[in-house]
């Protein structure tokens, strides 16, 4: 036997092969030979190691060092530094969230929580070498069975283990074996279902490619247990590598007397052959598989008789899938009690999943049954890339259903998934994020099932076709009232009447998405809107669709490109009267949907908006107002929602009066956002433009104190819009929060913005992680604080503040402390002089998919501070609204009208705290509803612009424009605006990056017109 100083394992899974692992292996071999290291180092191609996103992968043993994304050049470095000099090649190591290199494979979070039973050898041994399998206890289980156990003992051990079939239905494996053993008839057959047809599933393929002998050995054990001498592996032709390695393994086993006649001189005969299928999805169903294996058309048949009594060639047949067989040998060797020690009461052992979709760590994972879905997705899968939000996980492939974010704590086992309306299936686990349309997602699986339907039974053949027609209509914007009910009715009929399990589960994706995401179906049908910006027939462009106000982003960017800045602002103001404000403080959801990101980076849409708006500030234009209608409207609150409603109503010719409780107009824009982000003169300019449309603003007029709803009606107002915002702070109920020096963020920012006195010391603690927390921290520095610490109970990825604001705060010297929470404020003489904080750790998930945190015992610490500022959000102070008896702030969702005719409400006082652009959208919607209530026609189509792009569209990589900011030291000494306006040349270059996703041809081949809807 040859001994080597190092073993170099190169992942040979499908993902790594496609990313170039063969070139890496060849370079390793050539370089090792060049350096005369062939006698010391052995290079081995293994099966799939698991994390496909890191391929090509190389593991060095006995060190256990994992190198990722290895190129041929990287292979040279591994040999020269690691194998020759004994130094770690740090640049090829994966890094944790803090940027710290992870050296050993077992320390990688992807592997740390896994328990590998079915995959025990995959990625560790050479699958083409039977000696390596034997060295890993291969064929010991077969020998144990043949010489120490009776067939009934084997079946009893499998029963005792609680192993359930891993192919989908989860039927008890031992029970199925016992049925076949008891069945009358001869010969009997053992079949392996390797027809893995689920989209996104590759568990069985990886086992056959990486550890084929484990399946061969298990099939031989099954043959011994049920009285069969012949086995067949039914594998699809799309798995050529699996077929090749399986054939090779069968030949090796025959050569060594482990298959064929008189195995191990025991007197037991068993052989295996391969049946290659054409890849029909329906052949995953056992009776269809049997028909195909017999050379017939792959169609299911009614049961009974079950295959255990009448299967292949009409004889008793045992069928299990690849993963089920892969669990057999460890159960025989280590015992049923050991195996059943993993999992839950009714779902024993482990389960292999193929993680795919919108997840950082894609690949194969094996975890104990009952592991929480959130653990699989976040602890092993690494969470959702790009800072996106988890939306749902699809289990069971086309036969399964989706699990929304509120069920992230669900233990993944057969019973729990069934309760949620889905199934385990073979193990495909597809993760989707906020950019996935659940209607389109369900349609994809329904299309797959319709295409793959064998057509034997009418419910599946015709029923799924009718369902698909409805789904197709909905995604084209042609959905009708009642379509959801029709889908549910059809789905339930198909489930009850289809012939086979695949047909019966075909409606599951549609039914589960309706169950959990009905609002998306309703948005498609009722409002002709795809919230995820996927169904292209329902919007002009993804960015416009993502904007809550529906601003025609591509059109104003086109105007900027043409250097027609007046037109650009005019287009923005059709939907948003605050272009300069939103050009500075908008959370820019439009950029998150920009398709330019698929090439390089999203367009700097907010910066372009600001550029055009700043031109307008310097070159203002008066709005065009329609003839006076002779009707009066009162707006309560001058925040973005109230002023937006007032502006659009004034343009229509209404006499609009705004009542504001504060001494300044603008609401939260004026008192809640620091001047270095939103200069007062910019806000004033926007408000002056609104006033120039005829809007009157009365300051220091508070609802319930200075006037009532009844007063306004008495004064002759024909309609009233309540938009008072959310200006009541939330404080943490901990000891010491009554001390002098404790503020809320809103109180603090309000005093600063109104130039009122605020007592700020040298050391300030901020509690929270949103924009208000970051604003308060940065303002504290500008007010003279020398040390500002922000304590946030969650991690950096979950911090809701805008990333660019967080980055600026860090540059200015703000210190962020994650996974920390205050437990008491320390005082002396009635004044703050410290704060006690405790460290937190992640726990389970809340209904919004965010991780809860729990305190770590004994981890508290104290720091000296002069002030504590709570920034935990705001809520609506409904107690301040003195309205007639019987009125509530709840509104009709469609009209925004309250329980009193003619009184409407919107913005934060209805929705709770929202973003500026969401408040603007709410105000505009209210204006349209009020106008309609008063007999107007704002709800009809307004404007048409030709959608043309008579210039080159740049699809090659182009860098996003850089936005320039004041230097950190300069900005913390004043309230000067931090971010600067783009130069004209930069704005032009950035506008040229737009792909003009909105330009489409109509049926006649001409250009469509932009339709601006109210």
Full DSSP string of 739-760: SBTEEEHHHHHHHHHTT-----
Q: How confident is the model at residue 887 (pLDDT cuts 50, 70, 90)?
A: very low
**Does 935 reside within a domain?**
no
Q: Which range (112-126, 129-143, 570-584, 882-896) has the least confidence?
A: 882-896
Report the alpha-carbon angle 230-236-239, nearest 5.
110
Per-residue pLDDT at 633 exceeds 80: yes
Q: What is the pLDDT of residue 884?
A: 45
Q: Are residues 863 and 882 in the same domain?
A: no
Q: Are residues 91 and 171 in the same domain?
A: no
Per-residue pLDDT at 612 exceeds 70: yes
Closest-CA residue to 721 (of 907, 921, 915, 877): 907
**Does 1 reside within a domain?**
no
Q: What is the pLDDT of residue 1001?
A: 66
Q: Which two tokens stand for residue 19?
A: 């990313």
**Does 113 reside within a domain?**
no
Full DSSP string of 425-463: TTSEEEEEETT--HHHHHHHHHHHHHHH----SHIIIII
**Does 120 reside within a domain?**
no
| Calpha distance 791→185 (Å, rounded) | 72
Q: Are 329 and 218 in contact (CB under 8 A)?
A: yes
Q: How confident is the model at residue 1008 (pLDDT cuts 50, 70, 90)?
A: low
The percentage of residues in the chain with a pLDDT greater than 70, rounded to a whole number, is 97
- Could you say which of 856, 874, 892 is where a domain stops? 874
| Calpha distance 318→189 (Å, rounded) | 6
Burial class (CB in 10 A: 0-12, 13-18, 19+), 540: buried
Q: Are residues 765 and 745 in the same domain?
A: yes
- Could you say which of 494, 527, 560 is where a domain stops? 527
Task: Indicate the DSSP class of residue 4.
Answer: -
CA distances from 772 to 8, 106, 431, 473, 588 (A): 52, 41, 32, 44, 17
Q: What is the pLDDT of residues 743-797, one digit of tens each?
A: 999 999 999 999 999 999 999 999 999 999 999 999 999 999 999 999 999 999 8
User: For the chain, how many structural domains are there in total?
Assistant: 6
Q: What is the pLDDT of residue 1?
A: 53
Burial class (CB in 10 A: 0-12, 13-18, 19+), 769: buried
Mean pLDDT across 809-834: 95
CATH number, residue 18: 3.40.30.10
Q: Are 412 and 351 in contact (CB under 8 A)?
A: yes
Burial class (CB in 10 A: 0-12, 13-18, 19+), 941: exposed
Task: Indicate the DSSP class of residue 997.
Answer: T
Per-residue pLDDT at 123 exceeds 70: yes
CA distances from 451 to 236, 327, 460 (A): 17, 33, 11
Q: Which range (329-333, 569-573, 940-944, 989-993) has the least confidence?
A: 940-944
CATH number, residue 237: 3.40.50.11540
Q: Are 232 and 275 in contact (CB under 8 A)?
A: yes
Residues near 737 by beta carbon (within 8 Å), at least 6 away in sequence: 731, 825, 868, 870
Q: What is the dihedral of CA 814, 816, 822, 828, to 10 degrees?
A: -30
Mean pLDDT across 237-242: 90
Q: Are residues 202 and 312 in the same domain?
A: yes
**Does 213 reside within a domain?**
yes
DSSP 3-state assignment of 787? strand
Tally: H helices and E strands in the chain: 40, 33
Q: Are residues 772 and 856 in the same domain?
A: yes
Q: How confident is the model at residue 523 (pLDDT cuts 50, 70, 90)?
A: very high
- Helices 203-210 and 240-255: crossing angle in degrees, nearest 10, is 40
Q: Which two tokens stand for residue 995?
A: 């792909």
Cα separation of the two ends of the chain: 80
| Residue 199 half-sphere exposure toward CB, CA atoms < 13 A | 16
**Does 654 reside within a domain?**
yes
Q: Are residues 357 and 472 in the same domain?
A: yes
Query: How much of the chain is in helix, strand and coil states, percent to nearest 5?
Result: 40, 20, 40
Q: Are residues 494 and 368 in the same domain?
A: yes
Q: What is the pLDDT of residues 274-303, one digit of tens each?
A: 999 987 888 888 999 999 999 999 889 988
Q: What is the pLDDT of residues 694-730, one digit of tens each?
A: 999 999 999 989 999 999 999 999 999 999 877 777 7
The model's pTM: 0.90
Q: Are 697 and 635 in contact (CB under 8 A)?
A: no
Per-residue pLDDT at 888 exceeds 50: no
Report the alpha-carbon angle 213-161-129, nearest 5.
10
**Does 394 reside within a domain?**
yes
| Calpha distance 547→565 (Å, rounded) | 20
Q: How many residues does the chain have?
A: 1014
Residues near 361 by beta carbon (within 8 Å), at least 6 away in sequence: 51, 53, 54, 110, 355, 380, 381, 382
| Calpha distance 131→405 (Å, rounded) | 46
Q: What is the pLDDT of residues 413-466, one digit of tens each?
A: 999 999 998 988 888 899 999 999 999 999 999 999 898 888 889 998 999 999
Q: Are residues 10 and 99 in the same domain?
A: yes
Closest-CA residue to 59 (of 14, 8, 103, 17): 8
Q: What is the pLDDT of residue 1013?
A: 43
Q: What is the pLDDT of residue 138?
A: 96
256-278: burial string, b at 16+ Cβ within 10 Å, e else? eebbeeebeeeebebbbebbbbe
Q: Are residues 798 and 911 in the same domain?
A: no
Per-residue pLDDT at 55 exceeds 60: yes
DSSP 3-state assignment of 823? strand
The mean of the pLDDT values for the chain is: 92
Mean pLDDT across 607-623: 92
- Could you say which of 309, 341, 373 is where a domain stops? 341
**Residue in this structure with the two tokens 């017999």, named with its chain if needed:** 294
Burial class (CB in 10 A: 0-12, 13-18, 19+), 952: exposed
Mean pLDDT across 247-275: 96
**Residue in this structure with the two tokens 């030291």, named with its chain if needed:** 969
Residues near 169 by beta carbon (within 8 Å), at least 6 away in sequence: 423, 501
Q: Are residues 758 and 907 in the same domain?
A: no
Q: What is the pLDDT of residue 883?
A: 42
Q: Are residues 601 and 700 in the same domain?
A: no
Which DSSP helix (H) or strand (E) runs through 613? helix 605-618
Which DSSP helix (H) or strand (E) runs through 338? helix 336-340
Q: Which two tokens stand for residue 756?
A: 């009122």
CATH number, residue 434: 3.10.20.600
414-435: burial string, b at 16+ Cβ within 10 Å, e else? bebbeebbbbbbbbbbbbbbbb
**Residue in this structure with the two tokens 């003279």, named with its chain if needed:** 784
**Does 870 reside within a domain?**
yes
Q: What is the pLDDT of residue 1012?
A: 46
CA distances from 186 to 210, 219, 286 (A): 33, 18, 20
Q: Are residues 329 and 240 in the same domain?
A: yes
CATH number, residue 899: 3.50.50.60
Residue numbers of the domain that contains 102? 6-108
Q: What is the pLDDT of residues 891-949, one digit of tens each?
A: 888 899 998 899 999 988 888 888 999 999 999 999 999 999 999 988 776 667 778 88
| Calpha distance 106→635 (Å, rounded) | 63
Q: Which two tokens stand for residue 665?
A: 């107009």
């Amino acid at each position: 036997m040859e001994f080597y100083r190092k073993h170099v394992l190169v992942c040979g899974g499908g993902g790594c092969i496609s990313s170039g692992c063969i070139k890496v292996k060849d370079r390793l071999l050539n370089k090792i030979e060049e350096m005369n290291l062939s006698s010391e180092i052995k290079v081995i191609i293994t099966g799939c190691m698991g994390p496909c996103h890191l391929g090509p992968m190389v593991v060095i043993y006995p060190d256990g060092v994992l190198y990722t994304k290895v190129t041929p050049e990287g292979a040279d470095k591994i040999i020269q530094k690691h194998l020759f000099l004994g130094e770690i090649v740090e640049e090829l190591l994966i890094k944790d969230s803090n940027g710290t290199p992870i050296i050993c494979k077992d320390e990688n979070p992807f592997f740390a929580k896994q328990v590998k039973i079915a995959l025990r050898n995959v990625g560790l041994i050479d699958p083409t070498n039977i000696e390596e399998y034997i060295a890993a206890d291969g064929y010991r289980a077969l020998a144990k069975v043949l010489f120490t156990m009776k067939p009934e003992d084997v079946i009893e051990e499998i029963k005792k283990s609680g192993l359930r079939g891993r192919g989908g239905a989860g039927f008890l494996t031992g029970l199925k074996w016992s049925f076949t053993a008891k069945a009358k008839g001869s010969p009997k057959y053992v079949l392996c279902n390797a027809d893995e047809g689920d989209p996104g599933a590759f568990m069985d393929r990886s086992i056959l490619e990486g550890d084929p002998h484990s399946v061969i050995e298990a099939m031989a054990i099954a043959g011994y247990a049920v009285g069969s001498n012949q086995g067949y592996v039914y594998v699809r032709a799309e798995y050529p590598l699996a077929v090749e390695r399986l054939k090779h393994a069968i030949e090796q086993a025959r050569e060594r007397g482990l298959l064929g006649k008189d195995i191990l001189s025991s007197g037991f005969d068993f052989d295996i052959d391969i049946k290659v299928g054409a890849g029909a999805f329906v052949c995953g169903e056992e009776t269809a598989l049997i028909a195909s294996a017999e050379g017939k058309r792959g169609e299911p048949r009614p049961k009974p008789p079950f295959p255990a009594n009448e299967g292949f060639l009409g004889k008793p047949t045992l069928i299990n899938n690849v993963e089920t067989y892969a669990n057999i040998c460890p159960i025989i060797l280590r015992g049923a009690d050991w195996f059943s020690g993993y999992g839950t009461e009714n779902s024993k052992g482990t389960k292999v999943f193929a993680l795919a979709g919108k997840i950082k760590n894609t690949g194969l994972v094996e975890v104990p049954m009952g592991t929480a879905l959130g653990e699989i997705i976040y602890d092993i899968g690494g969470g959702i890339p790009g800072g996106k939000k988890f939306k749902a996980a699809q289990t069971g492939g086309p036969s399964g259903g989706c699990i929304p974010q509120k069920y992230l704590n669900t233990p993944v086992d057969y019973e729990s998934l069934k309760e949620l309306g889905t199934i385990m299936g073979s193990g495909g686990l597809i993760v989707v994020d906020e950019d996935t349309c659940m209607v389109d997602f369900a349609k994809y699986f329904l299309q797959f099932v319709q295409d793959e339907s064998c057509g034997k039974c009418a419910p599946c053949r015709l029923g799924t076709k009718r369902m698909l027609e409805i789904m197709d209509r909905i995604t084209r914007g042609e959905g009708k009232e009642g379509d959801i009910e029709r889908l549910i009715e059809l789905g339930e009929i198909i489930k009850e009447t289809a012939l086979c399990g695949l047909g019966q589960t075909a409606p599951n994706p549609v039914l589960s998405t309706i169950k959990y995401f009905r609002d998306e179906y309703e948005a498609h049908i009722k409002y002709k809107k795809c919230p995820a910006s996927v169904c292209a027939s329902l919007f002009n462009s993804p960015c416009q669709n993502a904007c809550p106000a529906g601003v025609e982003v591509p059109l104003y960017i086109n105007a900027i490109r043409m250097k027609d800045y007046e037109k650009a602002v005019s287009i923005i103001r059709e939907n948003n009267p605050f272009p300069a404000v939103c050009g500075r403080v908008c959370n820019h959801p439009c950029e998150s949907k920009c398709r330019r990101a698929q090439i390089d980076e999203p367009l700097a849409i907010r910066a372009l908006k600001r550029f055009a708006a700043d031109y307008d500030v310097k070159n203002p234009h008066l709005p065009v107002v329609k003839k006076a209608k002779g009707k009066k409207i009162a707006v309560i609150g001058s925040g973005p929602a109230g002023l937006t409603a007032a502006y659009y109503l004034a343009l229509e010719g209404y006499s609009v009066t705004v009542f504001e409780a504060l001494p300044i107009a603008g609401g939260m824009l004026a008192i809640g956002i620091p001047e270095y982000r939103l200069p007062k003169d910019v806000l004033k300019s926007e408000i002056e433009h609104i006033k120039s449309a005829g809007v009157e603003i009365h300051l220091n007029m508070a609802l319930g104190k200075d006037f009532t709803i009844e007063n306004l009606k008495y004064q002759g107002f024909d309609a009233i819009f309540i938009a008072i915002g959310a200006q009541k702070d939330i404080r943490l109920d901990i000891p010491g929060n009554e001390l002098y020096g404790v503020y809320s963020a809103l109180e603090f920012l309000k005093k600063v913005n109104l130039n009122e006195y605020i007592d700020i010391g040298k050391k300030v603690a901020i509690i929270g992680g949103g924009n208000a927390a970051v604003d308060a921290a940065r303002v504290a520095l500008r007010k003279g604080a020398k040390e500002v610490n922000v304590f946030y109970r969650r991690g950096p990825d979950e911090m809701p503040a805008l990333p660019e604001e967080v980055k600026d705060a860090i540059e200015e010297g703000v210190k962020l402390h994650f996974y920390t929470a205050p437990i008491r404020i320390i005082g002396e003489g009635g004044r703050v002089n410290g704060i006690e904080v405790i460290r937190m750790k992640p726990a389970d998930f809340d209904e919004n998919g965010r991780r809860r945190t729990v305190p770590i015992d004994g981890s508290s610490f104290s720091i000296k501070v002069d002030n504590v500022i709570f920034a935990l959000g705001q809520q609506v102070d409904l107690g301040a609204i003195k309205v007639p008896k019987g009125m509530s702030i709840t509104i009709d969702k469609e009209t925004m009208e309250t329980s009193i005719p003619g009184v409407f409400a919107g913005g934060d006082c209805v929705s709770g705290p929202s973003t500026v652009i969401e408040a603007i959208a709410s105000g505009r919607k209210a204006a349209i509803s009020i106008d309609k209530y008063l007999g107007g026609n704002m709800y009809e189509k307004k404007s048409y612009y030709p959608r043309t792009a008579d210039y080159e569209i740049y699809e090659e990589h182009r860098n996003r424009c850089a936005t320039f900011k004041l230097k950190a030291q300069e900005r913390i000494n004043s309230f000067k605006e931090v971010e600067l306006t783009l130069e004209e040349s930069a704005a032009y270059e950035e506008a040229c990056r737009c792909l003009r996703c909105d330009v489409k041809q109509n049926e006649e081949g001409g250009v469509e017109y932009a339709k601006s809807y109210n």
